[in-house]
Structure 1
């Protein structure tokens, strides 16, 4: 059986972005098998009966400061998105519909747009720019993300994550062990390499 890291993410999560950038840097020199698992963080919070940090002023303020600190300490380009929180539903569905050979590019371009470039990912011009950068046809993309099977798939992935006791993003699963948070990536890698 091939070992891999299951990386549960949502583009809305700044910590998922930071973890992705850290993992990408590590993966440039190591061949780590990563399975990206898109989830709707808002849906997961609802299932877990968790109030998202974005709706708690103190948590939000501290989360913003913490993300900026993590970015500085890890030399990651990061700018808190002035529109946070934005609904990431279309992009999360989009990850499911893009062809396999474009998934990594989609992943990076979407994360960078939101957490590096401070883009309003719901703005039509920005979405056009994102899709053009990736090489995707806008009409086909918009049609595909409205497909009921795609909607059901994202809902199932979110429900499956909840059933596995995942409650936040990023979460990493290695050998059936859950590691929650970008600051636990090192522990997930230790488990992966054991």
Structure 2
């Protein structure tokens, strides 16, 4: 049995509202065990049989079930609980700096991560610090600037919508319990 974390993109923002109980019910109906939602930002922890090699199959099934149940074009990033812990533990910036916002951007593949890190390398790193991590991009902008920085504008491109989702480091710690 593998413990997975589904990180939904774009729920409870922009008019797509999904109650946690309804979200958990979708995962339970798919036959997953120990389903729990964390916060109201589209985080679902669940157990499923099979090895990590079933990731693509699980992702497709979950996205299809979300589309059918909630009527929106669902995208998720699916990671194991261990992968999420590694990403959170590896945050490369000072997460105690109260003037900054510690973000972890989860990518569907290493090519997406490398593309984002490459684009960020062209930016002013002191104003918009970005670093590569295991399957993720770490981003540590000044609080209140997360939609205005040059890197934020890169992340907002339509090409990244189905390939990334971001979480605050504090949210990841809540998911990890």
TM-score of the alignment, normalized to the shorter chain, above 0.5: no
Q: 1 or 2, which has the higher helix percentage? A: 1
What TM-score do the two structures reach when normalised by structure 2? 0.33
What TM-score do the two structures reach when normalised by structure 1? 0.31
Q: 1 or 2, which has the higher strand percentage? A: 2
- If asked which structure has higher relative contact order (CA below 8 Å, sep 6+), I would say 1
